[in-house]
A and B are shown apart, each in its own frame.
Chain A
Amino acid sequence: MSEQLAVSKIRDGTVIDHINAGKALLVLRILGIGSGSRERVLMAMNVPSRKMGKKDIVKVEGKFISEEELNRIALIAPGATINLIRDYEIYKKFNVSLPEVVEGILTCPNRNCITNSREPIVRRFHVSMAEDNVVARCHYCGRKITEVDKFVL
């Protein structure tokens, strides 16, 4: 398959497939993988997909990401699928599902919100689906976010 040409196989780790095209970097950010991280990360963007037209794929070598962590991905890529790989074989496969609450991932657009002050506070949002759209509501000030991508920390 073309995607396997685009991204080489990993031995042990996590493969996140069917990410909406262009969202792979955000997925990494949500997983806390950045320039200082040590994991070996393979990424493909805008890979042709029969189901989605175009999609992104992320593979993280040597890291088995927890289900809870992965469900955060549903915020920006509700259709993502996850394969956990051991010795080149898939040993667990699942789809992400939207968590009810996310903590420390989104920032509140309300400048007058207590979460944007210098208080020691974990930003918490209540998440739900509204007409195929992810909606997040700030636990503290109640402000609603409809364009969730824009407010990923």
Chain B
Amino acid sequence: MTRFRHLISIDDLSKDDILYILDKAEEFEEIARGKTKSRTLEGKLLANLFFEPSTRTRMSFEAAMKRLGGDVINMTAQEASSVAKGETLADTIRVVGKYADAIVLRHPLEGAARFAAEHSEVPVINAGDGAGQHPTQTLLDLYTIRKESSLDELKIALMGDLKYSRTVHSLIKALTLFDAEIYLVSPPSLALPEEFLEGIGGKITTAELDEILEEIDVLYVTRIQKERFPDEEEYRKVAGSYKVDAETLKRAKDSLIVMHPLPRVDEIDVSVDATKHAKYFQQAFYGVPVRMAILSEVML
């Protein structure tokens, strides 16, 4: 029996569901590394429907599917945009559902994945809809924390753009299920929106990185996007003060891990890469077993 048919939002999952996927991902890790072979999804076909480019997410799904012996058909962002001109998403989904056994959808409009699921004969996995949800990213973040640190009694700092970063929003919601202590570190202009905290329980406080660096187990850094700022000078000031390098981390716990939902620009200096704290490339790899777990859940 499967726990869910579609994966649209992290909010649709209980803590139990999340742990179930993380456990399942664990079982797939050796296969994801190519050390063991699996034909679990042999004969199954996945359609990647990307109305907006996201090379990493797309390749990660493709890797996950192929590692399980399945196959992938792609609709690139360029193709998708020309289709979108003449056809509704509802129709595209209905047609592609006739070709494939599941659909991974990336779309610029919020709520697109939930709408697509309503029109789909096959499972839909949300790979990001506008500023909305990106549940597989959140699951791989949680998986990384559990593997490289711990989800129990976790103290985590989320740093950078907390206003627009959807990965941060979903992660906060999920972390409150695990009673994590969350510190928000951001310039005022990119602070987490007040209304986001309404109805969210949990231990969430605003802090400066300096004050909490010695206590935290995880430092989750997000990209500060230049285009969010009215002028370049303002951007430089802000971006500069939210940059982590090897020097910054000297006062941190030995076990501190640094995470980032890549690609980074320069908020994590390359000097961090060689330290034991750097887990962002590992985090990217974990996307594969987590997506394998999800694909096999919805397709089998």
Binding site for B on A (CB under 8 A): 110, 112-115, 117-121, 138-144
Most chain A Cβ neighbours within 10 Å, of B88, B107, B111, B115:
B111
CB pair B88 A141 closer than 8 Å: no
Residues of B within 8 Å of A144, CB to CB, are 195
* B69 interface residue per 8 A CB criterion: no
From residue B158, how far is it (CB to closest CB) to chain A in Å? Answer: 20
Contact, CB under 8 Å: A118 / B88 = yes
The answer on a CB contact under 8 Å between B131 and A112 is: yes
**Number of cross-chain contacts by CB at 8 Å:** 47
Interface residues of B (CB under 8 A from A): 9, 88-90, 107-112, 114-115, 129-132, 195
**A114-B111, A114-B112, A141-B110 are contacts. A120–B88 as well, Cβ < 8 Å?**
yes
Distance from A85 Cβ to chain B, minimum over Cβ atoms (Å): 40
Q: List 29 A-B contacts (CB under 8 A).
A: A112-B109, A112-B130, A112-B131, A113-B109, A113-B110, A113-B111, A114-B89, A114-B107, A114-B114, A115-B111, A117-B89, A118-B88, A119-B88, A119-B89, A119-B90, A119-B115, A120-B90, A121-B115, A138-B111, A139-B114, A140-B110, A140-B114, A140-B115, A141-B110, A141-B130, A142-B9, A142-B111, A142-B132, A143-B110
Closest to A143 in B: B110
A146's closest neighbor in chain B, by CB?
Answer: B195
Contacts of A138 in B (CB 8 A): 111
Query: Residue of A at shortest CB range from B109?
Result: A114
Which residues does chain B contribute within 8 Å of A117, judged by CB atoms? 89, 109
By beta carbon, the residue of chain A nearest B115 is A114
Residues of A within 8 A of B109 (CB): 112-114, 117
Which residues of B sit under 8 angstroms from A115, Cβ to Cβ?
111
Give 7 new A-B contacts, CB below 8 A, not counting A114-B115, A119-B115, A138-B111. A113-B109, A114-B114, A119-B90, A120-B88, A121-B90, A139-B114, A141-B110
